[in-house]
Structure 1
Amino acid sequence: MKKRRILLIIILLLVIGIIWIVEPVSLNPFSKVEIPRTESITDINCEGSAFTLDGDLEERANDTINKYINSNSFLGVTAGLYVENCLTYTGGAGFTSKRGQKRADSDMLGRIASITKPMTAVAIMQLYEKGMLDLDEPIQTYLPEYPKKPKGDISIRQLLKHTSGVNHYSSNWDALSFTHYPTLIKALDAFKDNELEFEPGTQFLYSSYGYTLLGAIIEKVSQMSYGEYMQKNIWDKANMSHTSLEEDKKYEKKSRLYLKVKSTFIKSPKTDLSVIYSAGGVQSTVGDLLKFGEAVLNNKLIDSTSLDMMINATDELAPAIGDDPYGFGWAVYDHPEYGKIIQHSGSQPGTSSFLAIYLDHRVVSVVMSNSFGSGRNAFRLSRKLAAIALE
């Protein structure tokens, strides 16, 4: 009798777990209800602009997003385009919540994951412009808490370019953190005793922990928390009114977190991002990310000389392992048709995102989705939306 009771409890817990994760399969909106098509907002004023845009741009952009939603590429997605002195377009389709069947729109708030990295890199360059740090000094100059390593000293420049030797996650499971750290300096405890993967400056290894170190340096040098510094010096200056660190509280318009497993979207556990706040702990909207791109283009955050330093990938090491050339916080790509593009993807539980700035054409393209596992589609959708403006 006792064994039967225990077995029933186990079965009940399994059923509850399946319902919690899948919400359940029967609530997959793509099999039960009409999929919300794209709703968009477009502000066009191209007088005096070099751009000549077709009158059906909004319709073509909406149709492009709808094709991705109809093919089950995303559960919910928002996307946007900015063309300097001409146009801002934002659109959203699909669902922010399977259980509540809430539709996604341009105001959907979500994780941006590693798109945080170029923001952190811009913050470092602001401090560099003010003479508050040296890019080539050993990081212990600013962070004595981080122990010296036998394989050599690490510089801020190497952290920015992912050539420091600081380790990244060992697996997708290793990326899941449920521990909260009150500051990024305290978050160093999670990895500061790990040995370097190689001698600094000799190889490329993408490392979110390396950008945690950069965030801790920002805290030490500015004497502000990372969130306070970013709010005052990045987000406020770029008029990004819906951008913040993700904290443990409720947010209006915040999407739920999902994982894409083949054709099914399952609920993701809510991970704690405080160990990588400066590498991937920011939440935002598609409109705010367009404003960030605009601020970069118009030197609202750093001057053109600093931006040139950030996008100089002539001495980078990334191609040795097949990655895009990497500058300071940006992947740098020379497109045969569209010219120089600086870009960054983002991927973690609850999001696949992509931001691209077309420097030669003064265009920004953004895609944010609410599911891990849709990264390739976020990249492709971003490129296709940009092509509509650049044709």
Structure 2
Amino acid sequence: MISPTVVASFSLIAGNYQNADSLFEVHKETAEIANHPITARLLEQLNGVEIQGAILIAVGDNIIYHRFGGDLSLMDKEPIDRNTRFAIGSVSKQFTAAALLQQLYRQGGMQNVKIALKQPISTYLLPSHSIWGEHYPNWADHVTLHHLLTHSSGLKDFTSDPAFENQKFNQTPHSPTEYLAIVRDQELSFEPGSDTLYSNTNYLLLAEILHSLCDSDLSSYLNGLCNEIGMSNTWAPLSGSLDELRSLDDQLAGVVDSGGRPTLDNFSCARGCGSLISTPQDLLKWNLALHKYKTIVPDEIYQIMTTSYINEEGYGIGVESTSRGTTILGHQGYLNGFESCLLYEPDSEMSIIVLSNSYKHHEQILEVVFRELDAPCS
């Protein structure tokens, strides 16, 4: 067990540390924080890692570590600060899942949620729906909402298809119908519910299902949901290139290092599966509202959402066990050169949030985080 003295000593050291590239904020520890078995060790390891983005660690409502630094973009050498916003990529999936479950609950309570999860897509997106374009697929009568939420539908990922990766296609805005058409007529990879295949197509469809339920597009719904819990620095664009979005949001970072991956995708491709823009502070508010206070969905729905189904898939959230005997809930994300990671450990109420506009720096930080989370207590 880490002693309170060790945590207090590190807080004093890190609290006095500043340089041109990085800023630390380490807040006064509480008994709850001091008793966490890996807090001091993790903070000490992170202290030695170069940063290009932002890291925030909290135990419950208490922020114990907030560090940010590096360049706003490759061309713009302005420094990243506490107000810098980042695209969070697939971390957005848990927002889509929670929004859908919330709307189903509002319309008919817990019984409605349980029934809806077993219903096929066609219950909500009828054969006449515009999403299907020229051809209604047979799989829409067999793939359920639960299959979509857990990536167990067997649907191919439209963002991995050569037709999407054609640069002339993915750099311009398209409708959900056009994105779905890329994989709509392809055979399923397996019988729905028998395996998992991570596919952005699942969450593209979930966004359309939510739209059909409440006559509000996902972007508007998420903006309202985030406002309800005080996430004033979070928004969900419907479309636009990164340059176009930065012209609208002067706090949005650009890209420093994409690791050789594409950075010019139009954000319209990320509807439902990865379009949110946020800050570490706002994502902490999300973690607390979802996991601790249960203000987004009631506990009974939360338990469904965070159950480990096939291959440790929850609803927009991975559910993994550590060698310490604890469970980690969370997701990583990538979009247009941005990297993200949002984690929550229920036993300790610890949140770990890492946002970056550099592939190399993000991978180095996550290596430290996951090594320490999975390490036996000493």
Answer yes or no: same fold by TM over 0.5: yes
Shift of 1:199: 1.9
Shift of 1:193: 3.5
Question: Is 2:217 the partner of 1:217?
Answer: no
Task: From 122, 125, 142, give the equivalent of 2:124.
Answer: 142
Q: Alignment length, in residue pairs?
A: 332
Report Cα offsets for 1:111-132 as digits up to 9, x if no partner: 1011001111111221232226
Are the counterparts in 1 of residues 120 and 141 from structure 2 also a CA contact under 8 Å? no
Are the counterparts in 2 of residues 352 and 373 from structure 1 also a CA contact under 8 Å? no
For residues 375-390 of structure 1, the aligned pairs below 5 Å read 376-383=363-370
Give the structure with higher Rg (CA).
1
Instruction: Tell me the SS of whatever aligns to 1:305.
Output: helix
- Kindly indicate which of the two structures has a greater share of residues assigned to strand: 1
Task: From 298, 311, 314, give the equivalent of 1:327.
Answer: 314
Question: Is 2:143 the partner of 1:154?
Answer: yes
Are the counterparts in 2 of residues 311 and 328 from structure 1 also a CA contact under 8 Å? yes
Which residue pairs with 2:3 in the alignment? none
Amino acid of the residue matched to residue 126 of structure 1?
Q
Task: From 233, 237, 251, give the equivalent of 1:242.
Answer: 233
Distance verdict in 2 for CA 1:227–1:88, change over 3 Å = farther
Are the counterparts in 1 of residues 120 and 144 from structure 2 also a CA contact under 8 Å? yes
Which residue pairs with 1:255 in the alignment? 253
Amino acid of the residue matched to residue 37 of structure 1?
D
Task: From 342, 345, 348, give the equivalent of 1:361.
Answer: 348
Distance 2:57 2:194 in 1: 38
For residues 249-288 of structure 1, the aligned pairs below 5 Å read 249=245, 250=247, 251-261=249-259, 269-288=263-282
- Kindly indicate which of the two structures has a greater share of residues assigned to helix: 2
Distance verdict in 2 for CA 1:355–1:174, change over 3 Å = same
Report Cα offsets for 1:261-297 as digits up to 9, x if no partner: 4xxxx79643212122210111111111111111112
Shift of 1:143: 1.0
Tell me whether 372-381 or 329-338 shows the greater mean CA deviation. Answer: 372-381
Distance verdict in 2 for CA 1:386–1:292, change over 3 Å = farther
Task: From 141, 153, 157, give the equivalent of 1:164.
Answer: 153
Amino acid of the residue matched to residue 223 of structure 1?
D
Which runs of 4 or more aligned residues in structure 1 lie more than 6 Å from their structure 2 counterparts after TM superposition?
57-60, 384-388
Distance 1:350 1:192 in 2: 27
Percent of paired sites with the same residue: 21
Which residue pairs with 1:192 in the alignment? 184
Instruction: Tell me the SS of whatever aligns to 2:72.
Output: strand
Distance 2:313 2:139 in 1: 26
Which residue pairs with 2:296 in the alignment? 301
Distance verdict in 2 for CA 1:225–1:152, change over 3 Å = closer
Which residue pairs with 1:311 in the alignment? 306
Which residue pairs with 1:128 in the alignment? 104
Which residue pairs with 1:292 in the alignment? 286
Which residue pairs with 2:13 in the alignment? none
Report Cα offsets for 1:52-90 as digits up to 9, x if no partner: 379xx89984x6445322xxxx6x220101211433532
Distance verdict in 2 for CA 1:149–1:379, change over 3 Å = farther
Distance 2:162 2:252 in 1: 24
Instruction: Tell me the SS of whatever aligns to 1:367.
Output: strand
Cα RMSD, aligned residues only:
3.1
Instruction: Tell me the SS of whatever aligns to 2:328.
Output: strand
Distance verdict in 2 for CA 1:140–1:152, change over 3 Å = closer
Structure 2, unaligned runs of 5 or more: 1-18
Distance 1:150 1:125 in 2: 22
Structure 1, unaligned runs of 5 or more: 1-34, 319-324
Report Cα offsets for 1:33-70 as digits up to 9, x if no partner: xx843213344473xx633379xx89984x6445322x
Distance 2:150 2:341 in 1: 19
Distance verdict in 2 for CA 1:238–1:299, change over 3 Å = same
